[in-house]
Amino acid sequence: MDNAFAWIPFYESLADRLLAYKDRQEELFDIMDRLRQEIGQPLQYLHLEREDWWSGRRMDPFNVLGVLGRNIKERAALAKTFAEVF
């Protein structure tokens, strides 16, 4: 496989694992909030501490995938963390 596309299997696997949370959005929120507290940046932009933004403390799997789509230096480290957690 061309190295330029080596990330595809990771994203496919992560998407499959996140699908298990489609009806467990409160649990997914709690996982992401715990990660935000543990690793800080690059998850601070989500402002999970703001109840006015996250009423019901629910997060869908697309929010998690969106984190990896941001222009962040720590993307590889964050992807590794996601692979371990999910």
Residue pLDDT, tens place only, 61-78: 998 998 888 767 788 888
Identify the pLDDT of residue 2: 67
Contact indicator for 67, 35 with CB cutoff of 8 Å: no
In the predicted model, is pLDDT for residue 21 greater than 90? yes
Q: How does pLDDT run across 35-61, given as a tens digit for each residue?
A: 988 887 778 888 888 888 887 888 999
Would residue 13 count as lying in a domain? Answer: no
Number of domains the chain is built from: 1
Would residue 59 count as lying in a domain? Answer: yes
> Residue 70: which domain range?
20-85
Q: What's the burial of 65, exposed, middle or buried (CB within 10 Å: 0-12/13-18/19+)?
A: middle
Would residue 1 count as lying in a domain? Answer: no
Identify the pLDDT of residue 7: 87
pTM over 0.95: no
Would residue 49 count as lying in a domain? Answer: yes
Question: Rg of the chain's alpha carbons, rounded to an integer?
Answer: 13
Would residue 24 count as lying in a domain? Answer: yes
